[in-house]
Amino acid sequence: MIRDTVLGEELALETAAGLFSPGHIDRGTLAMLSVAPFTPGMKVMDLGCGCGVVGILAAKKCGAENVWMSDVDPKAVEIALHNAKFNDVSGVHCVVSDGFDNVDAAGFDLILSNPPYQSDFAVAKRFIEKGFNRLKIGGTLLMVVKRRDWYKNKLSAIFGGVKIHEIDGYFVFEAQRRMAHYAGKKNKTARQLPQT
């Protein structure tokens, strides 16, 4: 059992062997949470939720009904749901999903992710591209990682810019959706007006 106070909220979390950071709340996650702009009523996605620390904290700040959590690992989702109930935020939406595949919501104000550190960046690439499409205009993606350059370049290409916070040896990337389409792509659906 992990017991900690984060952003003024007391959390008690069951974990299990094989889940990410089973002995304590990961420092990178804490770095990301330190810049998360939670406000009541905000629609939030915890992408790759693990035992649920990010989503549960978001639920305490924003309202459980406004929070979605997903993880590819069924055991993680089972534990996250247990932890949500134990921390009095059982109204969260939590599903087994590879990224956003089984998430039926969009229009998020905030998506948070501490993605797996893959050398080929395939998971992070999908999280960034699909995350952009699930944010509302003005919504923010927060992502914490140990590497800088690839994430800076990818987020800038998709969002048109990124703010980088260096906290406790981690890079927390903050990217806001300001347009309907990726920064590097033209609107292919726009129709030409007839000439008169």
Cα–Cα distance, 123 to 193 (Å, whole number)? 39
Residue 76 resides in a domain = yes
- pLDDT above 90 as % of the chain: 79
Amino acid 118: pLDDT: 60
Domain containing 26 — which CATH number?
3.40.50.150
Residue 184 resides in a domain = no
Residue 195 resides in a domain = no
What's the number of domains the chain is made of? 1
Q: Tell whether pTM > 0.85.
A: yes
Tokens of 22: 């089973």
**Range of the structural domain that residue 150 is part of:** 2-176
Residue 185 resides in a domain = no
Residue 30 resides in a domain = yes
Q: What is the pLDDT of residues 93-134, one digit of tens each?
A: 999 999 999 999 999 999 999 987 666 788 899 999 999 999
Cα–Cα distance, 96 to 74 (Å, whole number)? 6
Residue 161 resides in a domain = yes
Q: What is the pLDDT of residues 73-91, one digit of tens each?
A: 999 999 999 999 999 999 9
Contact (CB, 8 A) for 11 and 5: yes
CA 19 to chain centre: 17
User: Amino acid identity of 143?
Assistant: M
